[in-house]
């Protein structure tokens, strides 16, 4: 009788919560969606698509990339946090919606740590300081001299309020004492269009989006915000080499899902991401986009996210940046 009573209680619990546990079902039994917080064409979008192409055959399901840009990634993050934790809605998470945007945007509607299951770390890409080729400066010291000589604070573009580029721009102002004016865009691609057209002359942006234009001479790069030079642009010094010691900011990428994702699905997705990071085609695409891959256990990734929120997020809060 006790066994029968326990079974009845378990079934009732499932009915109260509206569904049977996802781990008790055959997963995946339908297409999976990876939400990207920025528009098509940027690093997050590229990584999401190559990851989807790599692991979809192993999951025997189609994986669709869903771009939902806006408000420093918080639009997409809020949407994902509100979806069922069933393994069919995932997010290509990164620094902006998880670390830098929540202190800037008030009432995002989600908790960046507890509102998600942070499944797997993928890698990170550095930021780069870039100008339109009409700017006469040839190195960082000349660039800062040019900035100081302008009649009004130079305008710099980023991929949005709360993006890593925005934070790096604010850090640059604090570090150098040079006043700048921030021009936020809805992603890297529209910002790149204005930079190439000369509507803005300066940007703080992720490295991959800028390599082609720098190599073609359409723009000029002055420093990468990383501990070491990047092989995509090995001639460009680090911020420390350019005289800006401590000016570091990287955009990390990972795979996340709504909070409460069943452990078997977490384990499966974590294994698939880490398998993908051993595949030559995946590694080649990451290298082409300036992303250094990395591996963490799922608990390590969750702890890494919390550490980023506690340290980088605290630094952002100290800048008193806010919207709304």
In the chain, where the domains are located: 30-124+250-318, 126-224
The residue-averaged pLDDT of 150-163 equals 91
pLDDT at 25: 62
Phi, psi of 163 (to 5 degrees): -70, 165
Q: Which residues of 220-249 are buried (b: 16+ CB within 10 A; e: fewer)?
A: bbbbbbbeebbebbeebbbbbebebeebbb
pLDDT at 290: 80
**117: pLDDT strictly greater than 60:** yes
3 state SS of 258: strand
Contact 124, 312 (CB under 8 A): no
**218: pLDDT strictly greater than 70:** yes
Q: What is the mean pLDDT of the chain?
A: 89
pLDDT at 73: 92
- Comparison of pLDDT for 310 and 271, the residue scoring more: 271
Query: Confidence class of residue 324 from pLDDT cuts 50, 70 and 90?
Result: low
- The tens digit of pLDDT for each residue in 32-60 reads 999 999 989 888 999 999 999 999 999 99
Q: Bridge-partner residues for 33, per DSSP?
A: 64, 89
**251: pLDDT strictly greater than 70:** yes
The residue-averaged pLDDT of 25-31 equals 91
CATH tag, 30-124+250-318: 3.40.190.150
175, with CB counted inside 10 A (0-12, 13-18, 19+), is middle
* Common-topology check for domains 30-124+250-318 and 126-224: yes
Using only C-alpha atoms, the chain has a radius of gyration, in whole angstroms, of: 21
Token representation of residue 190: 């529209």
pLDDT at 62: 98
Phi, psi of 273 (to 5 degrees): -65, -45
pLDDT at 16: 43
- The tens digit of pLDDT for each residue in 92-107 reads 999 989 998 999 887 8
The residue-averaged pLDDT of 236-247 equals 94
The residue-averaged pLDDT of 67-82 equals 95
**3: pLDDT strictly greater than 80:** no
Q: Bridge-partner residues for 254, per DSSP?
A: 93, 121
The residue-averaged pLDDT of 283-302 equals 91
pLDDT at 249: 82
Collect all residues with Cβ–Cβ distance below 8 Å to 13 and sequence separation of at least 6: none
d(CA 129, CA 140): 9
Query: Confidence class of residue 220 from pLDDT cuts 50, 70 and 90?
Result: very high
pLDDT at 234: 94
Contact 97, 264 (CB under 8 A): no
**24: pLDDT strictly greater than 80:** no
- The tens digit of pLDDT for each residue in 158-213 reads 988 777 888 899 889 989 999 999 999 988 889 999 999 999 999 999 898 899 99
d(CA 200, CA 183): 9
- Comparison of pLDDT for 125 and 11, the residue scoring more: 125
pLDDT at 8: 38
d(CA 275, CA 162): 32
pLDDT at 5: 45
**246: pLDDT strictly greater than 60:** yes
**131: pLDDT strictly greater than 70:** yes
CATH topology of domain 126-224: D-Maltodextrin-Binding Protein; domain 2 (3.40.190)
The residue-averaged pLDDT of 272-284 equals 96
The residue-averaged pLDDT of 243-260 equals 92
């Amino acid at each position: 009788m006790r066994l029968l009573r326990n079974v009845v209680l378990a079934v009732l619990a499932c009915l109260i919560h509206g569904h049977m546990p996802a781990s008790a079902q055959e997963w995946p039994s339908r297409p999976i969606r990876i939400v990207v917080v920025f528009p098509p064409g940027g690093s997050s979008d590229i990584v999401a698509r190559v990851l989807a192409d790599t692991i979809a055959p192993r999951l025997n399901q189609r994986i669709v990339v869903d771009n939902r840009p806006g408000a420093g990634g918080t639009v997409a993050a809020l949407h994902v946090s509100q979806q069922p934790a069933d393994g069919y809605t995932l997010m290509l998470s990164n620094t902006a919606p998880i670390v830098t945007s929540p202190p800037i945007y008030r009432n995002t509607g989600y908790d960046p740590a507890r509102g998600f299951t942070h499944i797997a770390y993928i890698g990170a890409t550095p930021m780069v300081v870039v100008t339109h080729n009409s700017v006469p400066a040839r190195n960082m010291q000349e660039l800062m001299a040019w900035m100081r000589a302008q009649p009004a604070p130079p305008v710099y573009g980023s991929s949005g309020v709360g993006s890593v580029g925005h934070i790096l721009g604010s850090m640059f102002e604090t570090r150098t004492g040079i006043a700048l004016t921030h021009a936020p865009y809805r992603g890297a691609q529209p910002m790149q269009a204005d930079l190439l057209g000369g509507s803005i002359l300066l940007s703080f942006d992720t490295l991959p989006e800028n390599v082609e234009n720098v190599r073609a001479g359409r723009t000029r790069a002055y420093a990468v915000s990383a501990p070491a030079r990047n092989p995509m642009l090995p001639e460009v010094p680090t911020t420390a080499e350019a005289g800006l010691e401590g000016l570091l900011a990287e955009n990390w990428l990972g795979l996340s899902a709504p909070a409460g994702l069943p452990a078997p699905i977490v384990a499966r997705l974590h294994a698939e991401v880490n398998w993908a990071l051993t595949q030559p085609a995946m590694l080649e695409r990451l290298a082409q986009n300036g992303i250094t891959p990395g591996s963490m256990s799922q608990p390590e990734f969750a702890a890494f996210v919390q550490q980023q929120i506690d340290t980088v997020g605290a630094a952002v809060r100290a800048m008193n940046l806010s919207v709304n």
